[in-house]
Amino acid sequence: MKERVLAGILGITVLLTWGCAKRAVVGFDALQTPAEVELDLRNGKHLKGIAAHKAQDALWVVPSAGDTLPIARAALEKIQVYPPVYDEAGQLITRAEIQREKNSRNTLLYTIGGGALSFGASLFLSSVVYRSGDDSDFKVVNPISIGGGLVGTGVFHYLGRKRDRLMAIERIKDRRKEEAEKLLEEKRKEKERLLKQIEELKKEKARIEAEKKRLKKKKKQNQ
């Protein structure tokens, strides 16, 4: 039974590690822009950046440092894409922007709290396993309690990091939305100001026309 429990712990570790994979290899036709990419070129060069635009035979990439580069489709050896994150306007949120916004608050809380919970649960499980088998020589420090505690701590650490990342994304979305609403309000006020100016100009033009007619009429009367 101990072997099955340890195998389960190992399986969870493998699944957790597998779930951390972030990049996916895609073909040129399947690539959706904008997206964060890593490109292997046929000339041996490696390029990281944002695929901003795609045409039938070329891809325009904004590298991490530098200006936009057009890359011919025939020059591409492999395209790796990071899972894209977009705001409410459909604009890409880059990993660098998320990293700048992210903090470690939930990572710390989840790791400490989840670690304590995992070690406690693993200790209880190991005591049941040892005492239900032929081996009654139970020790607090054993492969199940240590392995389960470490894996559980790792799982909660991963969940905390994921939570911190999601909260950072939400803050970026909220900030962009506020900035867009502010810009929209400024444009609305500018439009109102221009309309008011146009109305004032119309009134001034009408006043001038009326004055011209009055002067013309007065001139005729004086002749």
Contact criterion met (CB below 8 Å) for 86 and 92: yes
Contact criterion met (CB below 8 Å) for 148 and 121: yes
**pLDDT tens digits, 17-55:** 555 547 899 999 999 999 999 999 999 999 999 999 999
**pLDDT tens digits, 138-197:** 555 566 667 777 888 888 888 999 999 999 999 999 999 999 999 999 999 999 999 999
- What pLDDT shows up at residue 85? 92
Q: Above 60 in pLDDT, residue 15?
A: no
Q: Above 50 in pLDDT, residue 9?
A: no
- Please name every residue paired with 92 in a beta bridge, in sequence order, or none if there are none: 86
- Options 3.40.50.720, 3.40.50.12780, 1.20.1250.20, 2.30.30.100; which CATH number does 24-82 get? 2.30.30.100
Least confident stretch, 92-101, 109-118, 136-145, 191-200: 136-145
Annotated domain spans of the chain: 2-20+99-181, 24-82
Q: How confident is the model at residue 135 (pLDDT cuts 50, 70, 90)?
A: low
pLDDT higher at 124 or 140: 124
Instruction: Report the alpha-carbon distance of residue 87 to residue 97 in Å, rounded.
Output: 12
- What pLDDT shows up at residue 137? 60
Q: For the sheet with 69-72, list strands across it.
A: 24-26, 76-81, 35-41, 46-54, 58-63, 69-72
Q: Above 50 in pLDDT, residue 6?
A: no
Instruction: Report the alpha-carbon distance of residue 88 to residue 178 in Å, rounded.
Output: 11
- What pLDDT shows up at residue 66? 76
Mean of the per-residue pLDDT values of the chain: 83
Cα 137 to its chain centre, rounded Å, is 51
